[in-house]
Protein backbone atom coordinates (compact mmCIF):
# COMPACT_ATOMS: atom_id res chain seq x y z
CA UNK A 1 0.00 0.00 0.00
CA UNK A 2 1.29 3.48 -0.85
CA UNK A 3 1.66 5.96 2.00
CA UNK A 4 1.12 9.69 2.53
CA UNK A 5 1.97 12.06 5.36
CA UNK A 6 0.06 15.21 6.26
CA UNK A 7 1.87 17.93 8.21
CA UNK A 8 -0.94 20.25 9.27
CA UNK A 9 -3.18 21.57 12.04
CA UNK A 10 -5.97 19.65 13.76
CA UNK A 11 -9.54 20.86 13.18
CA UNK A 12 -11.71 19.80 16.12
CA UNK A 13 -14.87 19.71 13.96
CA UNK A 14 -13.23 17.29 11.54
CA UNK A 15 -13.94 19.06 8.25
CA UNK A 16 -10.55 20.64 7.49
CA UNK A 17 -6.92 20.21 8.57
CA UNK A 18 -5.47 16.87 9.64
CA UNK A 19 -8.88 15.24 9.92
CA UNK A 20 -9.90 16.14 6.34
CA UNK A 21 -6.48 15.06 5.10
CA UNK A 22 -6.62 11.61 6.71
CA UNK A 23 -10.20 10.98 5.52
CA UNK A 24 -9.21 12.06 2.01
CA UNK A 25 -6.08 9.93 1.91
CA UNK A 26 -8.01 6.90 3.11
CA UNK A 27 -10.78 7.46 0.55
CA UNK A 28 -8.12 7.77 -2.14
CA UNK A 29 -6.60 4.42 -1.23
CA UNK A 30 -3.35 5.35 0.52
CA UNK A 31 -2.18 4.76 4.09
CA UNK A 32 -2.35 8.11 5.98
CA UNK A 33 0.08 9.41 8.62
CA UNK A 34 0.18 12.78 10.41
CA UNK A 35 2.52 15.26 12.08
CA UNK A 36 0.42 17.85 13.89
CA UNK A 37 1.58 21.48 13.78
CA UNK A 38 -1.22 22.97 15.89
CA UNK A 39 -4.48 22.23 17.66
CA UNK A 40 -7.39 24.44 16.70
CA UNK A 41 -10.64 24.76 18.63
CA UNK A 42 -12.83 25.13 15.60
CA UNK A 43 -16.28 24.36 14.27
CA UNK A 44 -18.28 25.19 11.16
CA UNK A 45 -18.84 28.75 12.38
CA UNK A 46 -15.22 29.67 13.13
CA UNK A 47 -11.94 29.18 15.00
CA UNK A 48 -11.97 30.13 18.69
CA UNK A 49 -8.46 29.16 19.72
CA UNK A 50 -5.11 27.93 18.36
CA UNK A 51 -2.39 26.09 20.29
CA UNK A 52 0.78 25.64 18.24
CA UNK A 53 2.90 22.51 18.61
CA UNK A 54 6.32 22.82 20.16
CA UNK A 55 8.88 22.89 17.32
CA UNK A 56 11.15 20.27 18.94
CA UNK A 57 8.15 17.97 19.32
CA UNK A 58 7.15 18.50 15.67
CA UNK A 59 10.69 17.45 14.69
CA UNK A 60 10.25 14.30 16.77
CA UNK A 61 6.92 13.52 15.07
CA UNK A 62 8.64 13.81 11.69
CA UNK A 63 11.60 11.65 12.77
CA UNK A 64 9.19 8.99 14.03
CA UNK A 65 7.34 8.86 10.71
CA UNK A 66 10.26 9.12 8.29
CA UNK A 67 12.45 6.55 10.07
CA UNK A 68 9.72 3.90 10.06
CA UNK A 69 6.98 4.15 7.41
CA UNK A 70 8.51 6.32 4.69
CA UNK A 71 5.81 8.46 3.00
CA UNK A 72 5.41 8.26 -0.77
CA UNK A 73 4.02 11.82 -0.69
CA UNK A 74 3.82 14.67 1.81
CA UNK A 75 1.09 17.29 2.10
CA UNK A 76 1.76 20.43 4.16
CA UNK A 77 -1.13 22.55 5.38
CA UNK A 78 -1.53 25.03 8.26
CA UNK A 79 1.82 26.00 9.80
CA UNK A 80 1.41 29.21 11.82
CA UNK A 81 4.88 30.01 13.07
CA UNK A 82 8.37 30.39 11.56
CA UNK A 83 10.11 28.03 14.01
CA UNK A 84 7.79 25.20 12.93
CA UNK A 85 8.49 25.92 9.25
CA UNK A 86 12.28 25.80 9.87
CA UNK A 87 11.91 22.33 11.39
CA UNK A 88 9.71 21.04 8.57
CA UNK A 89 12.09 22.30 5.86
CA UNK A 90 15.09 20.83 7.61
CA UNK A 91 13.42 17.39 8.09
CA UNK A 92 12.12 17.26 4.51
CA UNK A 93 15.70 17.87 3.30
CA UNK A 94 17.22 15.43 5.80
CA UNK A 95 14.89 12.60 4.72
CA UNK A 96 14.87 13.54 1.01
CA UNK A 97 11.06 13.71 1.00
CA UNK A 98 9.31 13.18 -2.36
CA UNK A 99 6.08 14.41 -3.92
CA UNK A 100 5.65 17.46 -1.69
CA UNK A 101 2.35 19.36 -1.94
CA UNK A 102 2.31 22.70 -0.08
CA UNK A 103 -1.07 24.29 0.61
CA UNK A 104 -0.13 27.81 1.82
CA UNK A 105 -3.01 28.06 4.29
CA UNK A 106 -3.43 31.65 5.47
CA UNK A 107 -7.03 32.46 6.37
CA UNK A 108 -9.94 30.06 7.01
CA UNK A 109 -13.14 30.71 5.05
CA UNK A 110 -14.69 31.62 8.40
CA UNK A 111 -12.23 34.56 8.56
CA UNK A 112 -9.71 33.31 11.14
CA UNK A 113 -6.05 34.06 10.46
CA UNK A 114 -4.09 30.78 10.51
CA UNK A 115 -0.54 32.09 9.95
CA UNK A 116 1.55 34.92 11.37
CA UNK A 117 2.88 37.59 8.98
CA UNK A 118 6.53 36.68 9.49
CA UNK A 119 5.71 33.00 8.90
CA UNK A 120 4.45 33.87 5.40
CA UNK A 121 7.96 35.10 4.57
CA UNK A 122 9.52 31.96 6.09
CA UNK A 123 7.12 29.79 4.09
CA UNK A 124 8.26 31.53 0.90
CA UNK A 125 11.96 31.35 1.76
CA UNK A 126 12.18 27.81 3.13
CA UNK A 127 9.30 25.63 2.02
CA UNK A 128 8.19 26.76 -1.42
CA UNK A 129 11.42 25.77 -3.15
CA UNK A 130 11.05 22.22 -1.73
CA UNK A 131 7.52 21.84 -3.10
CA UNK A 132 6.57 19.90 -6.20
CA UNK A 133 3.34 21.86 -6.30
CA UNK A 134 1.88 24.82 -4.38
CA UNK A 135 -1.91 25.09 -4.13
CA UNK A 136 -2.89 28.68 -3.25
CA UNK A 137 -6.52 29.80 -3.43
CA UNK A 138 -7.15 33.20 -5.00
CA UNK A 139 -6.75 35.31 -1.82
CA UNK A 140 -3.50 33.43 -1.05
CA UNK A 141 -2.21 33.94 -4.60
CA UNK A 142 -2.98 37.67 -4.18
CA UNK A 143 -0.88 37.80 -1.01
CA UNK A 144 1.96 35.87 -2.66
CA UNK A 145 2.07 38.11 -5.75
CA UNK A 146 0.92 41.44 -4.28
CA UNK A 147 -1.58 41.64 -7.19
CA UNK A 148 -5.34 41.64 -7.40
CA UNK A 149 -6.81 38.62 -9.22
CA UNK A 150 -10.24 39.25 -10.70
CA UNK A 151 -10.32 37.22 -13.92
CA UNK A 152 -8.87 34.16 -15.68
CA UNK A 153 -6.00 36.12 -17.30
CA UNK A 154 -4.91 37.43 -13.90
CA UNK A 155 -5.02 33.89 -12.46
CA UNK A 156 -2.62 32.75 -15.20
CA UNK A 157 -0.28 35.72 -14.61
CA UNK A 158 -0.24 35.12 -10.85
CA UNK A 159 0.40 31.38 -11.16
CA UNK A 160 3.20 32.03 -13.68
CA UNK A 161 4.81 34.60 -11.37
CA UNK A 162 4.69 32.28 -8.34
CA UNK A 163 5.92 29.28 -10.37
CA UNK A 164 8.87 31.21 -11.81
CA UNK A 165 9.79 32.76 -8.46
CA UNK A 166 9.84 29.47 -6.53
CA UNK A 167 10.68 27.07 -9.35
CA UNK A 168 7.75 24.72 -8.75
CA UNK A 169 4.35 23.95 -10.20
CA UNK A 170 1.44 26.09 -8.99
CA UNK A 171 -2.23 25.16 -8.88
CA UNK A 172 -4.24 28.35 -8.41
CA UNK A 173 -7.64 27.18 -7.11
CA UNK A 174 -10.74 28.91 -8.40
CA UNK A 175 -13.17 28.09 -5.58
CA UNK A 176 -13.31 31.77 -4.63
CA UNK A 177 -14.39 32.98 -8.07
CA UNK A 178 -18.02 33.84 -8.72
CA UNK A 179 -18.60 31.52 -11.64
CA UNK A 180 -17.41 27.97 -12.19
CA UNK A 181 -14.81 26.34 -9.95
CA UNK A 182 -11.97 26.29 -12.48
CA UNK A 183 -8.42 25.68 -11.25
CA UNK A 184 -5.28 26.67 -13.16
CA UNK A 185 -2.10 24.58 -13.15
CA UNK A 186 1.08 26.38 -14.19
CA UNK A 187 4.05 24.02 -14.60
CA UNK A 188 7.16 23.92 -16.80
CA UNK A 189 6.33 27.29 -18.43
CA UNK A 190 2.92 26.19 -19.57
CA UNK A 191 -0.59 26.17 -18.15
CA UNK A 192 -3.65 23.95 -18.17
CA UNK A 193 -7.16 24.62 -16.88
CA UNK A 194 -9.00 22.02 -14.82
CA UNK A 195 -12.66 22.85 -15.25
CA UNK A 196 -15.21 22.18 -12.54
CA UNK A 197 -18.90 22.97 -12.51
CA UNK A 198 -19.76 25.00 -9.42
CA UNK A 199 -21.82 22.82 -7.09
CA UNK A 200 -24.51 24.77 -5.28
CA UNK A 201 -23.50 23.62 -1.83
CA UNK A 202 -22.87 26.18 0.97
CA UNK A 203 -20.94 23.51 2.92
CA UNK A 204 -17.39 24.00 1.66
CA UNK A 205 -15.41 23.78 4.92
CA UNK A 206 -12.07 22.14 4.16
CA UNK A 207 -12.17 22.18 0.36
CA UNK A 208 -8.55 23.37 0.06
CA UNK A 209 -7.23 20.79 2.55
CA UNK A 210 -9.16 18.05 0.81
CA UNK A 211 -7.96 18.94 -2.69
CA UNK A 212 -4.28 19.13 -1.69
CA UNK A 213 -4.49 15.80 0.17
CA UNK A 214 -6.18 14.14 -2.79
CA UNK A 215 -3.39 15.42 -5.06
CA UNK A 216 -0.76 14.07 -2.63
CA UNK A 217 -2.55 10.70 -2.47
CA UNK A 218 -2.52 10.37 -6.25
CA UNK A 219 1.14 11.42 -6.50
CA UNK A 220 1.89 8.74 -3.86
CA UNK A 221 0.17 6.18 -6.09
CA UNK A 222 2.50 7.14 -8.94
CA UNK A 223 0.25 9.30 -11.12
CA UNK A 224 1.87 12.34 -12.75
CA UNK A 225 0.92 15.81 -11.54
CA UNK A 226 -1.72 16.58 -14.20
CA UNK A 227 -3.45 13.22 -13.69
CA UNK A 228 -3.27 13.68 -9.91
CA UNK A 229 -4.92 17.11 -10.14
CA UNK A 230 -7.59 15.73 -12.46
CA UNK A 231 -8.39 12.83 -10.13
CA UNK A 232 -8.34 15.13 -7.07
CA UNK A 233 -10.78 17.50 -8.79
CA UNK A 234 -13.14 14.58 -9.51
CA UNK A 235 -12.88 13.49 -5.89
CA UNK A 236 -13.70 16.92 -4.44
CA UNK A 237 -16.59 17.39 -6.85
CA UNK A 238 -17.98 14.05 -5.63
CA UNK A 239 -17.50 14.98 -1.97
CA UNK A 240 -19.31 18.30 -2.51
CA UNK A 241 -22.07 16.71 -4.60
CA UNK A 242 -22.89 14.29 -1.75
CA UNK A 243 -24.54 17.34 -0.09
CA UNK A 244 -23.72 16.49 3.53
CA UNK A 245 -25.29 19.12 5.76
CA UNK A 246 -23.87 19.28 9.29
CA UNK A 247 -23.34 22.16 11.72
CA UNK A 248 -24.59 25.73 11.96
CA UNK A 249 -22.12 27.31 9.53
CA UNK A 250 -20.25 26.28 6.38
CA UNK A 251 -20.23 22.53 7.04
CA UNK A 252 -17.86 19.73 6.07
CA UNK A 253 -18.06 17.55 2.97
CA UNK A 254 -18.73 13.82 2.83
CA UNK A 255 -15.19 12.52 2.39
CA UNK A 256 -16.43 8.93 2.37
CA UNK A 257 -18.94 9.35 -0.46
CA UNK A 258 -17.11 6.86 -2.67
CA UNK A 259 -16.45 4.25 0.00
CA UNK A 260 -18.97 1.54 -0.73
CA UNK A 261 -18.84 -1.51 1.51
CA UNK A 262 -20.90 -3.38 4.09
CA UNK A 263 -19.73 -1.18 6.96
CA UNK A 264 -20.84 2.09 5.37
CA UNK A 265 -23.97 0.77 3.63
CA UNK A 266 -25.66 -1.04 6.54
CA UNK A 267 -28.98 0.55 7.47
CA UNK A 268 -29.02 2.72 10.62
CA UNK A 269 -30.45 0.93 13.66
Ligand X SMILES: Nc1ncnc2c1ncn2[C@@H]1O[C@H](COP(=O)(O)OP(=O)(O)O)[C@@H](O)[C@H]1O
* Residue ranges in contact with ligand X by CB under 6 A: 137, 173-176, 181, 183, 196, 198-199, 201, 204, 207-208, 211, 233, 236-237, 240
Helix, strand and coil percent figures for the chain, each rounded to 5: 40, 20, 40
Return the residues of window 35-74 that contact ligand LCLJCK34 according to CB under 6 A: 40, 42
Sign of the CA dihedral running 91, 38, 247, 175 = negative
Of the candidates 208, 210, 233, 251, the residue annotated as catalytic is 208
- Say whether residue 233 binds ligand LCLJCK34 (CB under 6 A): no
* Nearer of residues 216 and 240 to ligand X, judged by Cβ: 240
SS (H, E, C) 153-164: HHHHHHHHHHHH
Which of ligand LCLJCK34, ligand X, none sits in contact with 183, Cβ below 5 to 8 A by type?
ligand X
Q: Tell me which stretch binds ligand LCLJCK34 (CB under 6 A): 7-15, 141-149, 182-190, 224-232.
A: 7-15
Which of 5, 6, 17, 236 is the binder for ligand LCLJCK34 (CB under 6 A)? 17
Q: How many CB atoms lie within 10 A of CB 36?
A: 18
Q: DSSP assignment, residue 137? A: B
Q: How many CA atoms lie within 13 A of 76 on its CB side?
A: 29
What end-to-end distance do the CA atoms of the chain give, in Å? Answer: 33
CB neighbour list of residue 34: distance below 8 Å, 6 or more residues apart: 5, 6, 7, 8, 18, 21, 22, 61
Which of ligand LCLJCK34, ligand X, none sits in contact with 75, Cβ below 5 to 8 A by type?
none
Note whether 99 and 216 are within 8 A (CB): yes
- Say whether residue 174 binds ligand LCLJCK34 (CB under 6 A): no
Give catalytic status of residue 9 as yes or no: no
Interface ranges with ligand LCLJCK34 (CB under 6 A): 8-9, 11, 16-17, 40, 42, 77-78, 105, 108-109, 114, 204-209
Amino acid sequence: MKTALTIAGSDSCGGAGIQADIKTMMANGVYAMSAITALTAQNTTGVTSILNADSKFLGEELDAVFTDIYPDAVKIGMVSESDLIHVIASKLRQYNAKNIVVDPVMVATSGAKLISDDAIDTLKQELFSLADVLTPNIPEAEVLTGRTISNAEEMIDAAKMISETYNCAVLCKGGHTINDANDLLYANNTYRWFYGKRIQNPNTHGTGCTLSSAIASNLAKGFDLETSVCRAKDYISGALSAMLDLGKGSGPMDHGFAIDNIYTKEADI
